[in-house]
Amino acid sequence: MATYNELRVKGKNKKEVNSALDNAENIWKKVEKEFLVEKAMRTFAAEAVTVPTKIPGYPFISSGKPEVANFIAFILDIRKSTDHLLTAISSAKASQLERVLYETTAINTAGALVIGNYNGGLTEYLGDGFLALFKVEDEKSPSEVYDAHNAAQDCINSALDVVNEIISERYSLPKLAIGIGLAYSKAIVTIVGIENNLHPKAIGECVYRASKLSGGYNEINVDLKLKNLWPTSKDGKIRFNLYRKFYDVDGYLLEKKD
């Protein structure tokens, strides 16, 4: 049987231990949130994925960290490419699928060089053309408007001339016609896809509208938002010559003044 002193010591020990544990619990309550946040951050860091991009202003983008910015979307489309796929040309050295392969390779290569010369980013190769983006840093002084326009002019003039000359010489193919659509809006820069198959992407109205406006033949069409963004001057060298609809998108034909 325990003596009085033993009981007193045990009681004191219990009291001290319980008091110490009470204090420890209070300490934990104060720091628990910080530890949980740190753990969550470590877990997120382990799960987060960062991928390189060609989107202007975003050399890398991380999953779970979307960004929003203003962009001019630039879409180049090879006109009647489906007809090229289905039509054989007896005099040509390449036809149908082989022809389309050579045509898209040539125009995409030439276009990529042009876009790079004007600080744009070619972000996606499409079945019959490509999507490029120009990030607008300041709506009050949008120099990127000129970059996008000059790139479009170079694609339709010098780049297309080079491509047509080469495919004629090498494959006896007829001249290509292209359409370019330019449109402006905010876009979300994010990562789409599933594990091991992730892609950086800019998602915005400008991409949709530019795709519709690329339906012309060797011409540039712009949407209303880009038209309104365009800097004005008395000695301006371009004009918005013609209003028309491309499907459900309002567009304006962009031309150089005589």
Condensed to tens digits (0 to 9), the pLDDT of residues 92-137 reads: 666 677 888 888 899 999 999 999 999 999 999 987 899 999 999 9
Report the CATH number that the domain containing residue 90 is assigned in CATH.
3.30.70.1230
Claim: this prediction has a pTM higher than 0.75: yes
- Residues 39 and 154 occupy one common structural domain: no
- Residues 72 and 91 occupy one common structural domain: yes
Question: Which residue in this structure is represented by tokens 């170079």?
Answer: 154
Q: What is the pLDDT of residues 235-256, one digit of tens each?
A: 777 788 877 888 888 899 988 7
Ranges of the chain whose pLDDT falls below 50 = 9, 44-46
Helix 160-171 × helix 96-117 angle, to 10°: 150
What does 167-219 look like in DSSP terms, one character per residue?
Answer: HHHHH-PPPP-EEEEEEEEEEEEEEEEETTEEEEEEEEHHHHHHHHHTTSSSE
- Residues 94 and 198 occupy one common structural domain: yes
- Residues 151 and 109 occupy one common structural domain: yes
pLDDT at residue 258 in the model:
65
- Residues 96 and 184 occupy one common structural domain: yes
pLDDT at residue 101 in the model:
84
- Residues 152 and 40 occupy one common structural domain: no
- Residue type for position 106: A
- Residues 164 and 196 occupy one common structural domain: yes
pLDDT at residue 39 in the model:
56
pLDDT at residue 177 in the model:
93
Count of domains for the chain: 2
8 A C-beta contact, residue 127 and residue 97: no
- Residues 103 and 12 occupy one common structural domain: no
- Residues 2 and 54 occupy one common structural domain: no
How many whole angstroms separate alpha carbon 242 and alpha carbon 228?
15
pLDDT at residue 141 in the model:
82
pLDDT at residue 47 in the model:
58
The domain in which residue 170 lies consists of 50-256
- Residues 72 and 122 occupy one common structural domain: yes
